[in-house]
Amino acid sequence: MLETLGIVRVEVGRGIFIAVPDKSTPGENWRFPHSYSLREVYQFRKAVEPAALALAAPHFRQTDLAAMRAYALALGTAGNAGNAVSAAEQDSLFHDLIYARCGNRIFQALQAQMRGAIQGSQWAPMVIIEKVKDTAREHLLIVDALEKRDVRTACAALEDHIDAAAKRCNITLAPE
Please tell me the predicted confidence (pLDDT) of residue 131. 92
DSSP 55-112: HHGGG--HHHHHHHHHHHHHHHHHHHTT-HHHHHHHHHHHHHHHHHHH--HHHHHHHH
Please tell me the predicted confidence (pLDDT) of residue 30. 78
CATH of the domain at 56: 1.20.120.530
Please tell me the predicted confidence (pLDDT) of residue 50. 98
Please tell me the predicted confidence (pLDDT) of residue 168. 92
Q: Rg of the chain over CA atoms, in angstroms?
A: 16
Please tell me the predicted confidence (pLDDT) of residue 22. 62
On whether the pTM is more than 0.95, the answer is no
Residue 117: domain span? 33-168
Please tell me the predicted confidence (pLDDT) of residue 21. 62
pLDDT average per 10 residues of sequence, the chain (176 residues): 68 76 70 87 97 98 98 96 92 97 97 93 88 96 98 98 94 79
Domain count, the chain: 1
Please tell me the predicted confidence (pLDDT) of residue 175. 65
Please tell me the predicted confidence (pLDDT) of residue 6. 65
Structural domain contains residue 101: yes
Please tell me the predicted confidence (pLDDT) of residue 13. 83
Alpha-carbon gap, residue 69 to 91, rounded angstroms? 11
